[in-house]
Amino acid sequence: MAMIIGFLDIFIAFVFFLVFRCLLLYKQTHKPLLTNWPVLGMLPGLLLQVHRIYDWITEVLEATGMTFCFKGPWLSGTDILLTVDPVNIHYILSSNFVNYPKGMEFKKIFEVIGDAIFNIDSGMWEDMRNSSHAIFSRQDFQRLWVSTSVSKINQGLVPILENAVEKNILVDLQDVFQRFLFDTSTILMTGYDLKCLSIEMPKVDFGDAVDGASDAIFYRHVKPAFLWKLQYKFGVGVEKRLRRGLEVFDQLLETIISAKKEEIKSHDPKEEVTDVLTYYMTLDTVKYKHLKTSNNKFLRDTILGFLIAGRDTTASALTWFFWLLSRNPEAMTKIRQEINKNMPKFDPADLDKLVYLHGAVCETLRLYSPVPFNHKSPAKPDVHYKKTSVF
């Protein structure tokens, strides 16, 4: 027992030495930390930069020729090849796409969304992609999209902002956008309005659940698998929030799916289908052999994936967009002038005329991407451009 305690003391002292050495190195150089330490790999340097992780990764990639191999702790299975090289990106996402699925590791990390389109590969992914494109491109769905957005802006978003101006109170714009997108997404995906966007700003359990799950998923990328699995099993740390979030997701979607089934039973199935849940429940799967539309889990995973994507990605982009406008009043003036000139009255057909606005949105997405990285795993060993090997 004494020997075990002695080894533990030595290990703790070793860890503290590495952390202290990293801090000293950072203060001396102010350069990205790339030191590959024994046992701990590059994890100490990453932990010191976790508060600015995306800026730090950018600095590392700039200093290493756009491709860099992060070495995790020994035996942790967290070695990651990072690349922003356009040639590599095209190779992985296009010319050799078949060899780069998301992989089982991705599926484990993102297990909370089950078999949503963002978490599947091969034939099922193709069927989900084609079937979702079919509903999203339908005119009745696009009309619902426009009418829902306009209605939520006029009846929800504008009253909140007017109330804030009248009472001279601060509002969390990101929270407002998340509520706006969550309400519109639930209407489009399920046909139901959960009415989270109101002056009263009610507590949104779904939003808290998504935030908790997102934090846990982020840390799963850098933690050894055995550690986060152990934390999840016993409900410790950020994994505790993910477990609670999973309960919220399951309870909400179980209620919605049950209500939708009863609704479909009491209506003519030939009536016009607009929301995504109804579409999948009544879908003829002859063309989509991998989709199990009668299975509640399939419906749960599909709708959950779309709800999370609809709420978080667009809300993030809008938040950064308006923050950038607040820092660049000249750009705001030009956008207003362009809208007044080309779209005095809202008409989706006139959106193509808003060239400057389109450019500003694209620049926002370039600077502050809502999805800053894409996780891929090679199905077979491969050699990239510039002789970078992956396994």
pLDDT of residue 21: 56
pLDDT digits (tens, 9 = 90+) for 362-388: 999 999 999 888 888 888 888 765 656
The token duo for 188 is 């489009």
pLDDT digits (tens, 9 = 90+) for 35-87: 888 888 888 888 888 888 888 888 999 988 889 888 888 877 778 888 999 99
**Residue 319 confidence (pLDDT) above 90:** yes
Query: What confidence tier does 326 reach under pLDDT thresholds 50, 70, 90?
Result: very high
Domain boundaries, the chain: 1-100, 129-312, 328-373
Q: What percent of the chain has pLDDT over 70?
A: 88
pLDDT of residue 1: 52
Cβ–Cβ < 8 Å for 117, 125: yes
Region 105-129 average pLDDT? 86
What's the rounded Cα separation, in Å, for the pair 179 and 201? Answer: 9
What's the rounded Cα separation, in Å, for the pair 265 and 257? Answer: 12
**Residue 29 confidence (pLDDT) above 50:** no
Cβ–Cβ < 8 Å for 355, 335: no
Q: How many C-beta neighbours within 10 Å does residue 304 have?
A: 21
**Residue 14 confidence (pLDDT) above 50:** yes
Give residues with Cβ within 8 angstroms of 384, minimum separation 6: 67, 83, 88, 91, 92, 390
Average per-residue pLDDT in the chain? 85
Query: What confidence tier does 114 reach under pLDDT thresholds 50, 70, 90?
Result: confident
pLDDT of residue 278: 93
> Closest by alpha carbon to 85, among 71, 65, 70?
65
Pairing assessment for the beta strands 382-383 and 389-390 based on DSSP bridges? antiparallel
What's the rounded Cα separation, in Å, for the pair 148 and 157? Answer: 12
Cβ–Cβ < 8 Å for 126, 141: no
Between 16 and 137, where is the model more confident? 137
Q: What is the CA radius of gyration of the chain?
A: 24
**129-312 has which CATH code?**
1.10.630.10
**Residue 324 confidence (pLDDT) above 90:** yes
How far are the Cα atoms of 77, 106, 154 from residue 379, in angstroms, in the given order?
Answer: 16, 13, 49
The token duo for 232 is 């999840």
**Residue 285 confidence (pLDDT) above 90:** no
pLDDT of residue 266: 82
What's the rounded Cα separation, in Å, for the pair 249 and 257? Answer: 12
Q: What is the pTM of this model?
A: 0.81
Query: What confidence tier does 221 reach under pLDDT thresholds 50, 70, 90?
Result: confident
Which of 303-312, 321-330, 337-346 is most confident?
Answer: 321-330
Region 136-158 average pLDDT? 92
Between 341 and 389, where is the model more confident? 341
What's the rounded Cα separation, in Å, for the pair 6 and 179? Answer: 53
What's the rounded Cα separation, in Å, for the pair 279 and 140? Answer: 12
How far are the Cα atoms of 2, 98, 179, 323, 364 from residue 173, in angstroms, in the given order?
Answer: 56, 40, 10, 9, 16
> Closest by alpha carbon to 238, among 246, 228, 248, 247?
228
Between 349 and 1, where is the model more confident? 349
pLDDT of residue 28: 47
Look up residue 50 and give its DSSP letter: G
pLDDT digits (tens, 9 = 90+) for 157-209: 999 999 999 999 999 999 999 999 999 999 999 999 999 999 988 888 998 99
pLDDT of residue 367: 92
The least confident of 168-172, 251-255, 265-269, 302-306 is 265-269
- Helix (H, G, I), strand (E, B), or coil: what is residue 83? strand
The least confident of 180-184, 244-248, 287-291, 333-337 is 287-291
- Structural element, H or E, at residue 187: helix 173-190
Q: How far apart are the first and last CA of the chain?
A: 40
φ, ψ for residue 385, nearest 5 deg: -50, 140
Which of 24-28, 44-48, 124-128 is most confident?
Answer: 124-128
**Residue 8 confidence (pLDDT) above 50:** no
